[in-house]
Amino acid sequence: MPMGDKYGTHRVIEPAGAMPQTAQKLDNDMSKLYDNEILVDVIALNVDSASFTQIEEEAGGDEAKIGEIIMNIVKTRGKQQNPVTGSGGMFIGKVAKSGPALKDRDLKVGDKIASLVSLSLTPLKINRILAVHKAIDRVEVDAQAILFESGIYAKLPEDMDEGLALAALDVAGAPAQTAKLVKPGDSVLVLGAGGKSGLLCCYEAKKRVGPTGRVVANIHSERSRKILEELHLADEIVQADASKPVEFLNKVLPANKGREFDISINCVNIQGCEMGSILPVRDNGIVYFFSMATSFTRAALGAEGIGKDVTMIIGNGYTKDHAEITLWELRENPALRKFFETQYVK
């Protein structure tokens, strides 16, 4: 086969000129492999939390219906990109073939890898859905996918179960970005602290703020409180609904001794929490939206409407060394690792 475009535009069917992520349909014909592509036999998909939540609601919680919706999305679009949320997720699988132009990469047939680029831009073909695990947003599949030349991936570590590594790498951008943003002495508010990205962000924030800083964990339900307390991941834990911004503000500020926060990190998987993330942050503070349920229009216009001069960061799922940073968190905190193993290893 000839060389494809480094960024995968040769797989775009419509609209012409689009990038794979914004395309409505990709060519997912796995019988043709361009010289700079990697063909992967996919074992499991970790669907983005916002996307899976929406699909589960549409399916009324029925696992068979969830599978049908995912199959239909991939059949229609050639990729797993939720048409409502626009988000995807990531996969784990075994390398089936690597194009000759990529022969210098440290990759061989049979290597187990996790994709570190979104399913929303990854050509995917699902033959069968083998199992749906609602509690962890995971779908076991008989499928194949294509990674482009620009696509990043991580070899699965030998010292971890693949389910554990998949759970961590699925949200690797969040704790790695937290490591970059948080400084000693900062006050940090983590919204959606009970999920896997929230727990990892709390751990990283607590480590970075040091003894003079403060981490406040926001949870939506009491079931998350116990693990946060047992792992000592926050200075205060506040149950509050971030979709009700004024009420939310009045609950979280007392947990920071009445002061506005330096940084907020949004890890929720529901819509409407933009202002809950912005209101509690001081002028010239930072609001990091990792959640793909975020409307950046609402965030930008909402901040303008209340006169908040804050730096708002889009939750880029990639930052340098994010896979290594996130896996290391589990290695250096055995209790957190044990919890992840209990929750995410099947």
Q: Does domain 173-339 have CATH number 3.40.50.720?
A: yes
User: To the nearest whole number, what is the mean pLDDT of the chain?
Assistant: 94
Return the pLDDT at 312: 96
pLDDT band at 120 (very low <50, low <70, confident <90, very high): very high
Radius of gyration of the chain (CA): 20
Name the token pair of 57: 């609601």
pLDDT band at 92 (very low <50, low <70, confident <90, very high): very high
Residue 89 is given by DSSP the state E
What is d(CA 201, CA 193) in angstroms, rounded to the nearest whole number? 8
Return the pLDDT at 59: 97
Q: How far is CA 229 from the centre of its chain?
A: 24
What is d(CA 199, CA 98) in angstroms, rounded to the nearest whole number? 36
pTM of the predicted model as reported, rounded to 2 decimal places: 0.83
Return the pLDDT at 229: 94
Name the token pair of 146: 């294509």
Question: How many Cβ atoms sit within 10 Å of the Cβ of residue 37?
Answer: 25
pLDDT tens column, 167-220: 888 888 999 999 999 999 999 999 999 999 999 999 999 999 999 999 999 998
pLDDT tens column, 218-252: 998 888 899 999 999 999 999 999 999 999 999 99
Residue 121: exposed, middle, or buried by beta-carbon count in 10 A (0-12, 13-18, 19+)?
A: buried
What is d(CA 36, CA 148) in angstroms, rounded to the nearest whole number? 7
Going by DSSP bridges, is the β-strand pair 261-266/187-191 parallel, antiparallel, or unpaired?
parallel
pLDDT band at 90 (very low <50, low <70, confident <90, very high): very high
Name the token pair of 229: 């307390």
Domain boundaries, the chain: 9-156, 173-339
What is d(CA 231, CA 196) in angstroms, rounded to the nearest whole number? 13
pLDDT band at 89 (very low <50, low <70, confident <90, very high): very high
